[in-house]
Amino acid sequence: MNISILKSNPPYFFLAPLAGYTDLPFRSVVKKFGCDMTFSEMINANAIAFENDKTKKMMIKSPFETPYFVQIAVNNIDNMKKTVEIINQKDEIDGIDLNLGCPVNKARRSGYGGILLKNENKEFLKEIVKTLVTVSKKPVSVKMRLGFDEIVAVDRAKMFEDFGVSFLTIHGRTVKQMYKGKANYEEIKKVVESVNIPVIANGDITNYQKAKEVLEYTGASGVAIGRGAVGKPWIFLEMKQKGEITPKQKKEVILEHFNQMIKWYGDYGVILFRKHAHAYSKGIKNASEFRSKINKTEDKNEVINLIEEYFNV
């Protein structure tokens, strides 16, 4: 595929899936303001196979999201097949992303995510990826870490390329590292030099300058930003502008996010927006006062007025 469904030339700027944050409203905002590709939050393939209602809603994309991949976590081949067949019927979904990076204990115990990178799970992982690519009528990508505890990224990347995976997103840490230490771009660079499919670098990218350095060093086709976009979804606008945005642009993004939250969640979006408002207010004048007022209101018009007042340009 060479990410040919993307309309621009590299470098590409992706939003990495992040549970609890990269829901449809958030993805809508970053896509509108410069993000090239979005992915659903990680969804357990077993839940999709059994057509869980909450899961169905998690798969829905916004009108802004093209291209859009659904990210799945797999620990059962038969359920994965059912999931892929369901996704095959959804024309609005452009591809499937396999999660091989989730480091949380629940994922480890359940046998999905980053634990599949362990050498003892290699044969099972082969079966997963071969089957996924064979059954899917859409492009398949993989988001992975460097390994579970030892680095196996080059070996697995070559294997995935041989099986027909379209592109890779690589987080520069092992699963056991969780989010500790610094991302290892040297290992990402080795993967870039070892395969012919696009590689997207992920980990510790928080601004345009950092993205530029990572792209130049690794030779990657793009970067994926997850935690770096929380409280800063305008980071994608910075990528496109190649520099910082204006206060006016920042306020525009915040208001767009709030409006998308209300559109998707209804009045409950006011409450759900609070965690985002707290992140947005870091460093602004009278931030604690703003947070206190946001926490007390359930009126959407008052939230808009507060954003206009405290982010006044």
* Burial class, 72, CB count within 10 angstroms (exposed 0-12 / middle 13-18 / buried 19+): buried
Annotated catalytic residue: which of 16, 102, 224, 262?
Answer: 102
Q: Which of 200, 163, 197, 179 is nearest to 16 (CA)?
A: 200
Residue 15: helix, strand or coil by DSSP? strand
Distance CA 174, CA 88 (A): 32
**In angstroms, what CA-CA distances link 285 with 240, 257, 262, 305?**
27, 21, 26, 16
Amino acid present at 171? H
Q: Which of 36, 74, 14 is nearest to 202 (CA)?
A: 14
Whether residue 102 lies in the annotated active site = yes
Degrees (nearest 5) of the Cα angle 120, 121, 126? 130
Tokens of 65: 């999201």
Query: Which helix (H) or strand (E) is 215 found in, with range?
Result: helix 208-218
Q: What are phi and psi of 206, to 5 degrees?
A: -120, -5
Tokens 């595929």 belong to residue: 1
Catalytic residues: 102
